[in-house]
Amino acid sequence: MKTNSILQIVGASAVALFLSSCDSKQENMREDSLEKKADALEEKADTTRKHGEKVADAAEDTADKIRKDSPVGAANAENAADSTRKATENQADALEKEADKTREQK
C-alpha cells in the first residue's frame, strides 16, 4: 500500500512537470512574434548601415571632385562623411540592442 501511494505521488509530480514544461499555442505565437520583430529590427539595422555607407561614400566622392578648387569644401565633405558613418553606426547599434532586448522577452 505504501509503495502504491509513493508511485502515485511520483507519477502525479512527473505529469505536472511534463505539462508545465509544454508551451501553449499562445506562448508559441508570442515567441514567434517576438522573433519576427527582432529579425525585422536587425534587418533595419543592416539597411541603416548600408544606406549610411552609400551616403558617406557619395560625400567622399564629392570631396575628391572638389579638392583642387575648394580644399575647405572637400574637408567639410569628408567630415560630413565621417559624421554620417558614426551616426548611422550608432543608429544601427541601437536597433540591434533593441532586437536583443526583444529576444530576451521570450
pLDDT greater than 80 at residue 68: yes
The percentage of the chain sitting over the pLDDT mark of 70, rounded to a whole number, equals 78
Radius of gyration of the chain (CA): 28
- Least reliable range by pLDDT among 22-31, 66-75, 86-95: 22-31
pTM recorded for the entire structure: 0.72
What is the CA angle 55-83-56, rounded to 5?
Answer: 20
pLDDT greater than 80 at residue 10: no
> Which residues have CB under 8 Å from 63's CB, separation 6+?
73, 74, 75, 77, 78, 81
